[in-house]
């Protein structure tokens, strides 16, 4: 008779054999981003396998992938150019490999350090700055320190902070010309994004469809600094191949003087617009807000200006938020096809309304970012800030007030719907850090956010049915 340990051994051995045999027959699927050769060659496109075929294979990876990417074949015309930094790359890049770049599109990643990230080469955008700047300019002290730190065995993430962020503006201009050197006119479109930008793939394609790739196109969320209207970088920036070509000529014909200008300017995205304005012929911004915009589903003002438009991008979204948006978009494509735009209305109905309804219009320890009225204790004679009840009563008394927020001594109220975030643990939809109000522990516990569901629903009804036809592409 076999003793118990021997039985265990034999059984384990048999199980191992069975598992080995199974693996032998069905090797695990490789996600498409690993199959595609990253850069500078062109990744292959794996998203057009017929759905039935992958389903019969019973292969979880391929099944999901094929379905999630159906209808996105025109991504082959686009190269995604993602800008990040060595101190945040491990935190922020992986999610894009599993979502944004999972449908076989070409992409190229720029950072402030050259490295190999798994199978993905990461390019140092600063490496093509002139040597004088790299070696001596005070702005780049952090760049030199970073290289030393990493060469000495340090972790780049230890250098996270303001100073690393200070390198950011220097990356923009060299990144554009370097991407052009790699892709030239093999791509119709260049899409520039940051590691906390979410881009809806079907909406991006539907938006690009409304633009003429044979012309020099520069599109993004407009911001003014001085007299320059530029495209906000974190919201995502679109350049057609002719625009990138003109950018290259404009920048490289006068690189030294552009570098000197960057030193005195706040922001690299503004400089991008300056280089394009100086191009021959001059290229002006195609203003694309709010399709391209800088909010998250948690921070957005859900108003008429957005409601019936496709949401091409979101910004300040963390990995959890990017995944949620991705799941939503891929389910949308499966249900409606990639030719059907996803409007802000649709995101609202999935990311905002259900939360407010589930909470029955009231959440504790939550900041809903109401901001059209603001009262504080002692400021004035309005008693709204005295208690949550008083704050709610104030909002009820104003015809257009949809939501209110109270914390000890403060009452705020708003005419547009915002979801906001938990004051303690921020939700996975991310947030614009500079707009997080800082409350003490006690205040956070007592704070309350309220929404008037009756009014909100009446507002929604008043928006009517959105006309999707300007964006829709049939048979996509
Ligand atoms: C970029 O511009 C420079 C300067 O005008 C030019 O020499 C170079 O050929 C351009 N690069 C490409 C890829 O066209």
pLDDT by residue, tens only, the chain of 476 residues = 444 445 444 444 444 444 444 444 443 333 333 333 333 333 333 333 333 333 333 333 444 456 789 999 999 999 999 999 999 999 999 999 999 999 999 999 999 999 999 999 999 999 999 999 999 999 999 999 999 999 999 999 999 888 888 899 999 999 999 999 999 999 999 999 999 999 999 999 999 999 999 999 999 999 999 999 999 999 999 999 999 999 999 999 999 999 999 999 999 999 999 999 999 999 999 999 999 999 999 999 999 999 999 999 999 999 999 999 999 999 999 999 999 999 999 999 999 999 999 999 999 999 999 999 999 988 777 899 999 999 999 999 999 999 999 999 999 999 999 999 888 765 444 444 545 566 677 778 899 999 999 999 999 999 999 999 999 998 54
Q: How far, in Å, CA of 190 to CA of 107, rounded?
A: 9
Beta partners for residue 81, in sequence order: 108, 192
- Give the closest residue (by CA) to ligand 1 atom 6: 249
- Predicted local confidence at residue 370, as pLDDT: 96
Pocket perturbation via mutation, ligand 1, pick of 173, 245, 249, 278 by most ligand atoms within 8 A of CB: 249
| R_g of the chain, CA atoms, integer Å | 25
Helices (H), 368-465: 388-397, 441-446, 453-462
The residue whose two tokens read 């603001």 is 374
Sequence-distant (≥ 6) Cβ neighbours of residue 462 within 8 angstroms:
none
Question: Does ligand 1 come within 6 angstroms of the Cβ of 128?
Answer: no
Q: How far is the CA of 197 from the centre of ligand 1 (A)?
A: 29
Q: How far is the CA of 247 from the centre of ligand 1 (A)?
A: 10
Q: How far, in Å, CA of 41 to CA of 79, rounded?
A: 12
Token pair, residue 404, equals 């209110």
- Residue 440 region by backbone torsions, left for phi larger than 0, else alpha for psi between -120 and 50, else beta: beta
- Give the closest residue (by CA) to ligand 1 atom 13: 181
Q: Answer for the pair 427, 336: CB distance below 8 angstroms, yes or no.
A: no
Domain parsing of the chain, residue ranges = 71-287, 343-461
- Give the closest residue (by CA) to ligand 1 atom 12: 181
Question: Does ligand 1 come within 6 angstroms of the Cβ of 248?
Answer: yes
Q: How many CB atoms lie within 10 A of CB 119?
A: 12
Pocket perturbation via mutation, ligand 1, pick of 178, 247, 252 by most ligand atoms within 8 A of CB: 252
The residue whose two tokens read 């979410």 is 198
C-alpha to C-alpha distances, 438 to 225, 386, 426, 434, 443, nearest whole angstrom: 28, 20, 12, 10, 10
- Predicted local confidence at residue 3, as pLDDT: 46
- Predicted local confidence at residue 66, as pLDDT: 63
Beta partners for residue 197, in sequence order: 315
Domain 71-287, CATH? 3.90.550.50
Phi, psi of 332 (to 5 degrees): -60, -45
Question: Does ligand 1 come within 6 angstroms of the Cβ of 181?
Answer: yes
Give the HSE-up count for residue 80: Cα atoms under 13 Å, Cβ half-sphere: 31
Please give the number of the atom of ligand 1 that sits closest to the Cα of 177. 1
Separation of CA 310 from chain center: 15
Please give the number of the atom of ligand 1 that sits closest to the Cα of 252. 4
Nearest Cα neighbor of 195 from 211, 171, 178 is 171
Question: Does ligand 1 come within 6 angstroms of the Cβ of 186?
Answer: no
Tell me the whole-structure pTM to 2 decimals: 0.85
- Predicted local confidence at residue 2, as pLDDT: 42
In which element (H, E) is residue 257 found?
Answer: helix 255-264
């Amino acid at each position: 008779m076999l003793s118990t340990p021997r039985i265990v051994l034999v059984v384990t051995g048999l199980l191992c054999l069975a598992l080995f045999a199974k693996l032998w027959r069905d090797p695990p699927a490789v996600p498409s981003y690993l199959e595609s050769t990253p850069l500078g060659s062109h990744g292959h496109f794996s998203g057009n396998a017929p759905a039935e075929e992958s389903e019969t294979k019973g292969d979880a990876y391929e099944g999901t992938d094929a379905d999630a990417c159906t209808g996105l074949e025109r991504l082959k015309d686009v190269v995604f150019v993602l800008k990040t930094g060595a101190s945040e790359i491990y935190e922020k890049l992986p999610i894009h490999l599993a979502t944004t770049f999972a449908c076989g599109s070409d992409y190229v990643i720029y950072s402030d350090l050259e490295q190999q990230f798994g199978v993905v080469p990461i390019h140092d955008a600063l490496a093509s700055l002139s040597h004088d700047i790299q070696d001596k300019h005070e702005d780049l002290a952090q760049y030199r320190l970073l290289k030393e730190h990493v060469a000495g065995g340090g972790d780049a993430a230890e250098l996270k902070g303001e100073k690393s962020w200070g390198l950011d503006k220097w990356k923009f201009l060299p990144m554009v010309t370097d991407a052009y050197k790699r892709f030239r006119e093999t791509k119709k479109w260049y899409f520039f994004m940051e590691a906390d930008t979410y881009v809806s793939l079907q909406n991006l394609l539907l938006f690009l469809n409304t633009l003429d790739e044979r012309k020099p196109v520069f599109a993004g969320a407009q911001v003014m600094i001085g007299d320059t209207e530029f495209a906000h970088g974190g919201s995502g920036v679109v350049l057609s191949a002719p625009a990138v070509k003109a950018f290259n000529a404009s920048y490289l014909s006068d690189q030294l003087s552009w570098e000197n200008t960057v030193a005195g300017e706040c922001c690299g995205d503004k400089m991008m617009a300056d280089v394009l304005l100086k191009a021959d012929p001059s290229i002006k911004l195609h203003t694309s807000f709010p399709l391209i915009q800088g909010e998250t589903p948690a921070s957005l003002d859900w108003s008429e200006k957005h409601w019936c438009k496709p949401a091409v991008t979101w910004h300040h979204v963390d990995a959890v938020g990017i995944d949620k948006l991705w799941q939503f978009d891929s389910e949308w494509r499966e249900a409606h096809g990639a030719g059907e735009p996803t409007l802000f209305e649709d995101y609202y109905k999935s990311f905002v309304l259900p939360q407010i309804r589930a909470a029955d219009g009231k959440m504790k320890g939550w900041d809903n970012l109401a901001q059209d009225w603001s009262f504080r204790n002692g400021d004035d004679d309005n008693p709204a800030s005295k208690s949550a009840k008083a704050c709610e009563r104030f909002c009820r008394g104003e015809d257009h007030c949809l939501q209110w927020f109270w914390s000890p001594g403060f009452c705020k109220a708003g005419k547009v719907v915002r979801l906001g975030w938990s004051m303690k643990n921020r939700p996975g939809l991310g947030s614009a850090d500079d707009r997080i109000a800082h409350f003490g522990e006690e205040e956070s516990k007592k704070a309350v956010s309220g929404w008037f569901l009756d009014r909100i629903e009446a507002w929604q009804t008043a928006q009517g049915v959105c006309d999707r036809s300007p964006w829709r592409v049939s048979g996509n």
